[in-house]
Structure 1
Amino acid sequence: MLDDISLFVKICRYNSFNDAAHQLGMPLSTISRRVNQLEKNLGSSLFFRDKNGLKLTVAGNEILTACQPSIEHVEGILNTLDTKKNWDKGSIKFVGPTNFISKLFADQFFDDFFEEYPDIVVNFDLSNERSNLNQQQFDLAMRLGDLEDSGFICKTIGKMEFVLVASPQLISTHGSPKNLNGLDIFPKIIFSPIQNWQFTSAENCSLDYLPQGDFISNNIDLCVNRTIAGHGICYLAKQYVADAIATGELLTLLPQYRPRRRLINLLWPSKPLPYRTRVLIDYLANKLAKTI
């Protein structure tokens, strides 16, 4: 009956069965049959039918007054959903750091997104080098750490926790460092995007340590594997070494100093934002807030 009431409201807009049939793309006989069935179910006539068009009976006017706002509200919602469904289709060029995004894929981070939005194609343009966004076309970019003034719209969606780690065998050889100066005697593995190891003391003072690297790479797996193998200490995002810490393959150092967190930022050009890009931004923001 609800479908027939919705049809009744639409007929009232056109004030004619013929016009309604034409506008709705329905046979006139179907419209007449459904209105007759609705009147039968309600036990009351809805229209006075004459050559001058349709006129509502008292019952018809009462039903139109009661139902029209709700019908139009539902139609508005359905139209919005249909528009969003069309906006979902298309591609997004997403620029981001290879190591970080690869770890997210390894953790099946994006599975829910691709399941919910199968018509969105994300073109992942990844690099371990921090490219100049002003010199390339993109829809969305991720940047870790401090940002240069780029002129893009920016949203900070999380913070990465860092740790200073070493293997048990390296500590057994060199002893446990007591302070930042004590790191000088250790071989060091530098994950090259992070040249400056930043800490906060127990007194909330900012401390920087500039390591001289014995091994430098922008590949996170190489840095983690060499650290586990005992070739040096390393300053890394905790997400990359959490399992090794849990199993005892790596130990955290200098608990009196807290490695400073690095911001996770999303950037996009200052122009109207497509719905498909907005849903990816929201997905990243909501999920990273729970996982990092």
Structure 2
Amino acid sequence: MGVGYERKRGEYGAPIIEEKWAKLINISDKNVFNGVRMDSLGGIAMFVQVADSGSFSATGRLLGLSSSAVGKSVARMEARLGARLFQRSTRHLALTAEGEKFLQRCKRILAEVEAAERELGESGGAPSGRLRISLPRYSGLFEAAIAAFMQAYPAIELDLDFSDAMVNIVSDGFDAAVRTGELADSSLMRRKLCTFRRLLVASPAYLARHGRPADGAALLGHARLDYRFPATGRLEQWPLMDEAAQPAPGMVCNSVEMRVFLAVQGQGVAYLPAFAVQRELAAGQLVSLLDEHTQARTAFWLLWPASRHLPPRLRVFIDFLVQQLQDQTFGAMP
């Protein structure tokens, strides 16, 4: 994960370079062939576009330049740096290890420039502009907070992407993301939103047919509605059992909603976030099992790129979401 900048996608699946970056490049075939040195920021913008599009020709089409012009511009940058940024073949263009490191730095530089421009443009007025946010696929926890934010800040446009997969805030072009788990990228900032328990649940009808498990060993004899992590492909481990004692999975999916539905329909026992089954528990459609063994808490974190120039629209989003959700615990024992 890392910092990103706002991008659109073109015909070839590559990001269309922002108009401001196209102006920074400020290059023509003529001055390329004459060997005129590009300004540093323009060179950075050109390099990032080539890395994202995957070829000189695709970059040339996006910018209205020849493939040769783009290639020579990158070659001059490599000469100035004294390092090869791309491995080239007749059909393939790939970043070297040095190119990968340089790309991350370059994107942070462009993001800082964009943030500074927006901060100056937004000073003195209400926060505005677009925010691209990655949220967990199950949206039930955030709907009310998002709706309240839209009402409070109508000039801010939200682009919400729901996914449980790991995202790279740099290369995927997000302004912020909400995720659980440990923070692996030290370049990100974070604030805690809320915590929740996971509960073992089943329907009264299912328990009437199969009995209520008294301990972890008894779970081995029950039908299991399992969750597979998108990032790793591994099944979620249930409480009370080590991996060697895990029962053979029954139905496996990566959808919270589907497992809630099947549990209500009496198809088995599910291990689900407490906030996802609050209504079903209150209505008596589901019953929680072995509560004394499911007390572990998991936190949701709001992550965003570290920056000296945080755009006002992102700053107010962070503060608003924290205010709405902070210190809440879903599934707390009465």
Bin for the TM-score computed over the shorter chain? 0.5 to 0.7
Matching of residue 217 in structure 1 with residue 253 in structure 2: yes
Q: Distance in 2 between matches of 1:210 and 1:280?
A: 41
Aligned with 1:279 (options 300, 307, 316): 316
- Partner residue in 2 for 1:104: 142
> How much identity, in percent, do the aligned residues show?
26
Answer 1 or 2: which has greater helix percent. Answer: 1
Matching of residue 91 in structure 1 with residue 130 in structure 2: yes
In 1, are the aligned partners of 2:169 and 2:176 still within 8 Å (CA)?
Answer: no
Q: Residues 98 and 255 (structure 1 numbering): CA distance in 2 closer, same or farther, change over 3 Å? A: closer
- Partner residue in 1 for 2:21: none
Q: Residues 253 and 84 (structure 1 numbering): CA distance in 2 closer, same or farther, change over 3 Å? A: farther
- Partner residue in 2 for 1:258: 294
Structure 2 residue runs without a partner (length 5+): 1-121
Aligned with 1:232 (options 245, 249, 268): 268
In 2, are the aligned partners of 1:143 and 1:264 still within 8 Å (CA)?
Answer: yes
- Partner residue in 2 for 1:243: 279
Deviations 1:198-246 (A, max 9, x none): 65x8xxxx97774532111122211100011111111111111111111
In 2, are the aligned partners of 1:170 and 1:230 still within 8 Å (CA)?
Answer: yes
Q: Look up the equivalent residue of 1:175 and give its one-letter code.
A: G
Matching of residue 190 in structure 1 with residue 226 in structure 2: yes
Moved more, 142-151 or 229-238: 142-151
- Following superposition, the deviation at residue 150 of structure 1 comes to 5.4
Q: Distance in 2 between matches of 1:196 and 1:259?
A: 16
Q: Residues 281 and 212 (structure 1 numbering): CA distance in 2 closer, same or farther, change over 3 Å? A: farther
Q: Look up the equivalent residue of 1:249 and give its one-letter code.
A: Q
TM-score, normalized by length of structure 1? Answer: 0.62
Q: Look up the equivalent residue of 2:213 and give its one-letter code.
A: P
Q: Residues 284 and 120 (structure 1 numbering): CA distance in 2 closer, same or farther, change over 3 Å? A: same
- Partner residue in 2 for 1:118: 154
- Following superposition, the deviation at residue 149 of structure 1 comes to 3.7
In 2, are the aligned partners of 1:197 and 1:211 still within 8 Å (CA)?
Answer: no
Q: Distance in 1 between matches of 2:312 and 2:149?
A: 14
Let me know the Cα RMSD of the aligned residues.
2.7
In 2, are the aligned partners of 1:146 and 1:262 still within 8 Å (CA)?
Answer: no
- Partner residue in 2 for 1:7: none
Q: Distance in 2 between matches of 1:198 and 1:180?
A: 9
Matching of residue 175 in structure 1 with residue 211 in structure 2: yes
Q: Residues 211 and 115 (structure 1 numbering): CA distance in 2 closer, same or farther, change over 3 Å? A: farther
SS at structure 1 position matched to 2:184: coil
- Following superposition, the deviation at residue 118 of structure 1 comes to 0.6
Q: Residues 156 and 213 (structure 1 numbering): CA distance in 2 closer, same or farther, change over 3 Å? A: same
- Partner residue in 2 for 1:36: none
Q: Between Structure 1 and Structure 2, whose CA radius of gyration is higher? A: 1
Q: Distance in 2 between matches of 1:150 and 1:195?
A: 28
- Following superposition, the deviation at residue 253 of structure 1 comes to 0.4
Q: Distance in 1 between matches of 2:238 and 2:191?
A: 23
SS at structure 1 position matched to 2:145: coil
- Following superposition, the deviation at residue 190 of structure 1 comes to 1.4
Q: Residues 173 and 217 (structure 1 numbering): CA distance in 2 closer, same or farther, change over 3 Å? A: same
In 2, are the aligned partners of 1:164 and 1:259 still within 8 Å (CA)?
Answer: no
Q: Residues 84 and 155 (structure 1 numbering): CA distance in 2 closer, same or farther, change over 3 Å? A: farther
